[in-house]
A and B are shown apart, each in its own frame.
Chain A
Amino acid sequence: MQTADFISRHRGVMAQLNHAYANADVATFERLITDLKVEREHALRTGIAKVSQALADALAKFQLDSRIAALAAKDMPDAQVRLDHVLKLTEDAAHRTLDLIEETAPLAESTATDARILAGTLDDRSHNDIRRFLGEVQGSAERVRANLTEVMLAQGFQDLTGQILHGIRTLIGEVESVLDELTKISGVEVTPQARAEDGVLHGPAVPGLSTDTVVDQNDVDDLIAGLGI
């Protein structure tokens, strides 16, 4: 199609050029060549203009989206702080559980031992109820002791989840630096309004990030009381 168009557009010009050439009509020949050159430059200018416009549109679109800038400047670092807080919460919870296991396991152990020793001192022909009861106590205490070992091993989740969170934290850092470079190139200014805040529930408070949050239940009670409830 383009070829056919090209041939039909230039057939007349070629004939005129041939004619001018055959007749040594230098003036006409030069004018025809100049016309061709002007037409070619015009097409080129139109093309460049189109590309420039597309580039300007793309840049404008990027600049408009200050959400990207907010992601790089605020949301990504915030996400890292949140993950650190999750790491701390799970670590604290695991240690608290281990504290309680260490405190409880010896109690279960000594209860089982004491029940066994006491049952041994009782006369075989009497105290049947008490001996049966002591047997049950010993069995239960041993079961509690064994279960505490399983609960202890289950706290290993903190290690596994912690390693995964560390990986995600590193990934967020990498995305942040890429976004940061992009926003530097585009020169977008970050405005506080750029964050999508409306209608978002904030969830658990994160120290260092959450503002205007209560510290503990006493804070809540004070606040409620202050409101006359």
Chain B
Amino acid sequence: MASSIRFLVVDDFSTMRRIIRNFLADLGYTNVAEADDGRTALPVLKAGAVDFLITDWNMPGMPGLQLLKEVRSDPVIKKLPVLMVTAEAKREQIVEAAQAGVSGYVVKPFTAQTLKDKIDKILASQATG
């Protein structure tokens, strides 16, 4: 069932973590954990306790792009869906994230529909892939 999917939301701003968590709850996803940067997120991911990662890019400690690269280079969790939700809006950055293997990219500020579409699209491709 969709609601059993375990999400991890990584953002250094507590307001944004809370917004995404609430939004996921609206969509029926209630199994949501939070981390405030890549460094605290990575052990949780490596423990295999996450099915879907939503991460910011610009964070102190370990930024989201580095976290994405760490995930993609780990044989156990390398296929984890990673949706980047960030204010970084330069084309070259989006290209960089894509090259690092991001599953989806949402630029802040975003609408409910955009975030829902991206999550649905990634889950659909997971199901068929």
Instruction: Give the interface of A toward B (CB within 8 A).
Output: 91, 94-95, 98, 101-102, 149-150, 152-160, 162-163
Q: Are A98 and B19 in contact (CB under 8 A)?
A: yes
Taking A91-B15, A153-B109 as known contacts, 14 extra A-B pairs with beta carbons closer than 8 A to each other, sorted by chain A number, are: A91-B13, A91-B14, A95-B15, A149-B23, A152-B23, A153-B112, A155-B19, A156-B109, A158-B15, A158-B16, A159-B15, A159-B87, A160-B108, A162-B13
Q: Are B111 and A153 in contact (CB under 8 A)?
A: yes
In the bound complex, CA of A98 to CA of B13 (Å): 14
Shortest beta-carbon distance from A69 to chain B in Å? 32
Shortest beta-carbon distance from A155 to chain B in Å? 6
In the bound complex, CA of A154 to CA of B110 (Å): 9
What are the residues of chain A within 8 A of B19 when measuring CB–CB? 98, 152-153, 155-156
Q: Report the tally of A-B residue pairs with Cβ distances under 8 A.
A: 51
- The reply on B58 being an interface residue by CB < 8 A is yes
Shortest beta-carbon distance from A109 to chain B in Å? 10
- The reply on B79 being an interface residue by CB < 8 A is no
- The residue from A149, A154, A159 contacting B16, defined by CB atoms under 8 A apart: A159
Shortest beta-carbon distance from B40 to chain A in Å? 18
Shortest beta-carbon distance from B114 to chain A in Å? 10
Q: Are A101 and B22 in contact (CB under 8 A)?
A: yes
Q: Are B15 and A153 in contact (CB under 8 A)?
A: no
In the bound complex, CA of A151 to CA of B26 (Å): 14
For chain B, residues 2 to 23, give those with C-beta under 8 angstroms from any C-beta of chain A: 11, 13-16, 18-19, 22-23
Q: Are A102 and B22 in contact (CB under 8 A)?
A: yes
Q: Are B108 and A149 in contact (CB under 8 A)?
A: no
- The residue from B22, B23, B26, B87 contacting A160, defined by CB atoms under 8 A apart: B87
What are the residues of chain B within 8 A of A155 when measuring CB–CB? 15, 19
Given known pairs A98-B22, A159-B87, A160-B87, the reply for A150 and B15 (CB within 8 Å) is no
- The residue from B14, B18, B112 contacting A150, defined by CB atoms under 8 A apart: B112
Given known pairs A163-B58, A163-B87, the reply for A156 and B110 (CB within 8 Å) is yes
Shortest beta-carbon distance from A65 to chain B in Å? 37
What are the residues of chain B within 8 A of A163 when measuring CB–CB? 58, 87
Q: By CB atoms of chain A within 10 A, which of B15, B16, B23 has the most?
A: B15
- The residue from B13, B22, B112 contacting A159, defined by CB atoms under 8 A apart: B13
What are the residues of chain B within 8 A of A91 when measuring CB–CB? 13-15
Q: Could you name 13 residue pairs across A and B whose Cβ atoms are closer than 8 Å?
A: A91-B15, A102-B22, A153-B23, A153-B112, A155-B19, A156-B15, A156-B16, A156-B110, A158-B13, A158-B15, A159-B87, A160-B108, A160-B109
